[in-house]
Structure 1
Amino acid sequence: MAEVARLAGVSIATVSYVVNGTRQVREETRRRVERAIEQTGYTPNTLARSLATSSTESIGVVISAITNPYFAEVLAGVDRAAVRAGRILLLADSHDEPKYEFEVVRDLCQRRVDGIVLAPSTDPARTLDYLVASKVPTVLVDRLVDDRFDQVGPENEESTAHLVQHLAARGHRRIGMISGLSGLGTTTERLAGYRKGLKRSRLPYDASLVAEGHSNTVGAHAATHRLLATPEPPTALIVGNNAMIVGSMRALRGAGLLVPNDIALVSYDDLPGADLLAPPLTAFAQPCAQLGERAIAMLLQRLTDPDAAPRTERLGPRLMHRRSCGCPADTRADGTSDA
């Protein structure tokens, strides 16, 4: 920095103002400093700067199943918003393992990230208590499980209830549910929505019509087979997230069932190419990228105002009404025409 200052004919403090953007300097002076930086190849010592400013300009992101298209889109939104804010991301996949989740969160805190965006695992209590004790600003995304934190996620209950009611309106009385991994906040809320939809449709809850798909293709395949093997199998099926859709579809095809002629199929969660399936899949599409962008916005607000009351926000999914539910192509889920 001293060499840059000498070449530019300014003080070391002025170089610091230009590099860190902490004070306004004249445009001519800024250009001289930038030319000197280019000549010397100077790069700021980010570790030293973080010690001086108490900020590393970095954000830790801990989510599960990065290969899941849903979380990939959420992460894209997080990254886009972080770049706009001049922040760098440190990313970890928790694999939905509570012990590993705690370890990676602790490591990120020890690296002095300014804050964390976390999609909690099935049993995040230890991790969340650690974050509270460490006073690390944190936003929970997707899975809203602790109101001590800022949280942003999708609306789950009413959307799932809507799917049940839609299938019931189509005449189905045996509506099955492939639920996600047990213990996840999203799984709990969607199961609650399933029961709410049954109650509104005056249908009894039957535990034999619910099977856990463990939020993966293999689990959903096995769960679908279990439901089809019951004495009175479902005539319609709701899949709890997009990570399980392919598994359920493979099981139905293996059983020789055609969608929607033999069984109706809908999903909470859309997936890329769902409109190209035969038939196109009816699903609720979550605002994935917006969830990620909103999580960063909330975290930046928390950094600015650490004493503000925690907030929980929900973003509504959009119904992609197609034909796997058994509706004609020219009608909406509420029975109205597209025309």
Structure 2
Amino acid sequence: MSSPSSAPPRRLAPLCYRFGIALAPDTGGRAELAAAIESAAAAEGCAVTFAETTGSVTSEAAAARTLRAQGVDGVLLAPASGDDTVVTELVRIGMPTVLVDRLAARDDVDQVGTENIESTSDLTEHLAARGYRRIGLLAGPPGDSDADERSLGYRLGLGRAGLRWDAALAVRGDSPSAAGVLLAERPSAVVVAGEGMLAAVQAEARSRGLRIGTDLGLICHGDVGRAREAEPPVSALSPPFGDLAHTAVRLLLSRIADSARRPKIVRLTPSFAHRSSCGCPAQGSSTAAASSSSHAPS
């Protein structure tokens, strides 16, 4: 019989902190982001408590109250569009907070999200390199920080490609009818600035008898199941969920350790899943929307 080991017994790593996570579960990619945050927190010895929101300020405020009542040490929040009342309150009371996925137009809170301007410019230039000239944009309403930045990127991409900006081809709004308004202008290609609007564009194209990838070039900022499983599959930018999660957790730990630290805003580059909706043969993934020398109808 072997003698007892003299090594000390193994102990489970102590729980460092508990983080509150407030996300809207029905938004494209949020389930993947939530899982990545939970994994990143666990890697740092931390636990998480989830509070679902519907993307409205009211539900966001309720989620924040619930998490505070449960005594979380910090909050990771995907803020509602257009109103940062809840963020302002969390900052005011000194709750360590990191905004994740959706950035806000403020500099008093840590934030990590996807880079929007250059990446959308790349998408627009990619379509232009295919020979498209009437490139339209469908983006969320003014005041949505992501939509505002992506709209700027679209306009920047047009300029870099030597194309003129046409207000009629840049439609802002989150209603299903916005896709119809845009396609009524007969664009030859469309940049969809948010995965939540992709289905409306696809449906509107079908109703008009337009074949995506042939009659209408299509490219999307945001890669959800609908993009990957569509026929043809949609060329799209995919947020780096793992990097977003790890960065958010580290920022929150840093904020807890040093409440006086100057807030940081981190923008991470999305990867480009090059498929065939833009008129190109499927190419796989890369970190940039590489241009093609082939041409499509203008």
TM-score, normalised on structure 2?
0.85
Q: Which of these residues, 83, 93, 117, is aligned with residue 134 of structure 1? A: 93
Contact 2:189-2:216 at 8 Å conserved across structures: yes
Deviates more, 1:285-294 or 1:260-269: 285-294
Alpha carbons of structure 1 residues 255 and 262: separation in structure 2 relative to 1, 3 Å: same
- Which residue of structure 2 lines up, in the alignment, with residue 6 of structure 1? none
- Which residue of structure 1 lines up, in the alignment, with residue 117 of structure 2? 157
- 2:85 corresponds to 1:104: no
Contact 1:270-1:286 at 8 Å conserved across structures: yes
Q: Which of these residues, 27, 43, 57, is aligned with residue 8 of structure 2? A: 27
Structure 1's unaligned 5+ residue stretches are: 1-25, 35-54
What is the CA–CA distance in structure 1 between the aligned matches of 2:140 and 2:232, rounded to whole Å? 23
Contact 1:96-1:122 at 8 Å conserved across structures: yes
Alpha carbons of structure 1 residues 243 and 273: separation in structure 2 relative to 1, 3 Å: closer
Contact 1:76-1:289 at 8 Å conserved across structures: no
- 2:137 corresponds to 1:180: no
1:179 CA drift (Å): 0.7
What is the CA–CA distance in structure 1 between the aligned matches of 2:228 and 2:26, rounded to whole Å? 21
- 2:187 corresponds to 1:234: yes
Deviations 1:223-272, CA, capped at 9 Å, x for gaps: 22112223xx1110111122222221111111110012211111111123
Calculate the aligned-residue CA RMSD, in Å: 2.6
What percentage of aligned pairs have identical amino acids? Answer: 37
- Which residue of structure 1 lines up, in the alignment, with residue 197 of structure 2? 244
- Which residue of structure 2 lines up, in the alignment, with residue 335 of structure 1? 292
Letter in 1 for 2:31: A
What is the CA–CA distance in structure 2 between the aligned matches of 1:261 and 1:311, rounded to whole Å? 43
Alpha carbons of structure 1 residues 329 and 112: separation in structure 2 relative to 1, 3 Å: closer
**3-state DSSP of counterpart to 1:80:** helix
Contact 2:112-2:265 at 8 Å conserved across structures: yes
Contact 1:122-1:182 at 8 Å conserved across structures: no
Letter in 1 for 2:133: R
- Which residue of structure 2 lines up, in the alignment, with residue 10 of structure 1? none
Contact 2:122-2:290 at 8 Å conserved across structures: no
1:280 CA drift (Å): 2.4
Q: Which of these residues, 4, 9, 23, is aligned with residue 63 of structure 1? A: 23
Alpha carbons of structure 1 residues 119 and 181: separation in structure 2 relative to 1, 3 Å: farther
- 2:215 corresponds to 1:255: no
TM-score, normalised on structure 1?
0.75
1:204 CA drift (Å): 2.3
Deviations 1:12-64, CA, capped at 9 Å, x for gaps: xxxxxxxxxxxxxx936x89xx9xxxxxxxxxxxxxxxxxxxx9932111122
1:291 CA drift (Å): 0.9
1:1-339 equivalences under 5 Å are 27=8, 57-64=17-24, 66-145=25-104, 146-214=106-174, 219-220=175-176, 222-230=177-185, 233-272=186-225, 274-329=227-282, 333-335=290-292
What is the CA–CA distance in structure 1 between the aligned matches of 2:136 and 2:125, rounded to whole Å? 13
Alpha carbons of structure 1 residues 160 and 330: separation in structure 2 relative to 1, 3 Å: closer
What is the CA–CA distance in structure 1 between the aligned matches of 2:20 and 2:270, rounded to whole Å? 26
1:336 CA drift (Å): 7.3
Structure 2's unaligned 5+ residue stretches are: 1-6
What is the CA–CA distance in structure 2 between the aligned matches of 1:308 and 1:227, rounded to whole Å? 45
What is the CA–CA distance in structure 1 between the aligned matches of 2:129 and 2:191, rounded to whole Å? 15
Instruction: Name the count of aligned residue pairs.
Output: 281
Letter in 2 for 1:303: I
Contact 1:180-1:187 at 8 Å conserved across structures: yes
**3-state DSSP of counterpart to 1:60:** strand
What is the CA–CA distance in structure 1 between the aligned matches of 2:229 and 2:65, rounded to whole Å? 43
